[in-house]
Amino acid sequence: MGMNFEGEWIEIFKAGSYPQGEFSEADIDEIVATYDPQLHEAPSTIGHPKPSEPAWGWVEAVRREGQLLLAKFRQVAPEFLQWLREGRFKKRSVRLSPHIVPGRWYLESVGWLGAMPPQVKGLADVALAAAEGELIIEFNDISDGGKEMEDKDVRALLDKQKDELEKSFAEREKRLREELTQKQEAAFSTEKQARERLEQENVKLRETLRRSDIRARLEKLLDEARITPAMLEQGLAEFCARLDDQEEVEFAQGDGGKASRQEWMFRFLGALPPVLEFREMATKERAAAAGGKTPAEFAGVTVDDERLTVHNQALALSREKGIPYEDALKQIMV
């Protein structure tokens, strides 16, 4: 085989007896006669790959010399030429099809083979599987006349290739499993982080709603004069927020039975009488002017009712003008 390869006549097939049948010089003449690159240009491939895989060259023409079928190649890839020069692909096989020209053998492709040794005495190797009606016949390097291998050597080489193939598959399977595990772990970690963020946001939202409810209940107690603004300023809301509102415990006999610590605190505050102590609401002079009665007595209300009214007025004025409760109370009492 010359160093240029492209444009040279290369032996690709030989007449003889093969497992697929007898091939005479007349059969080779038929292959030569039917070959037409315009009808189907046979690709030069590594093995016999799928149609979607690349060709490394193309069969430009074929001819017969004695029992040999020769082919001339064109557009051969430079890297493939280098592999041929390095002796990586000394064997070739032909795929013969009866379908391209119906009923006649047609050269469909030329496949170059590497490690597989010849297994039939002489030039012919074991035939590969092909589509229905097609033949694939493999050869060793025709120029060296072929070498016969002992059966034990063939079996040993095949066993070695089987072991290498199984090892390769095992390594590939391991690599794919590791990649899949890494992807699954990454997806799980991302999902876990998102779930944790959502849970944190839910906790914050629940805490905000819980504190809002506590504040509303204390505001109601403030309106009822059960507590004073000073109690809120001293941190009563925070104190209630820190009390457990889930676990129920038995505090004492009576209505309500079990309750959480927070609920018990609200029950306790709600049961308190008005806790405001105002200064005397009527002077002796005012009492005399009213016929000896205090304003509360004159109006026909109890002292507790009047205290609650004054408290509510002071509370409303404090909120309206944004002034301290004590200042608002003083203005109401003037």
**33-37, 168-172, 243-247, 312-316: range with highest mean pLDDT:** 33-37
Say which residue, 144 or 153, is predicted with more confidence: 153
**Edge to edge, what strands does the sheet with 91-97 contain?**
9-14, 68-74, 57-65, 43-46, 106-113, 91-97, 135-139
Query: Is the model's pTM score more than 0.85?
Result: no
What tokens does 79 get?
A: 């890297």
Give the Cα separation of 95 and 110 in Å (integer). Answer: 6
What tokens does 228 get?
A: 């004073």
Predicted confidence (pLDDT) per residue in 263-297, tens digit: 888 888 888 877 655 444 444 444 444 444 444 44
Give the Cα separation of 135 and 97 in Å (integer). Answer: 7
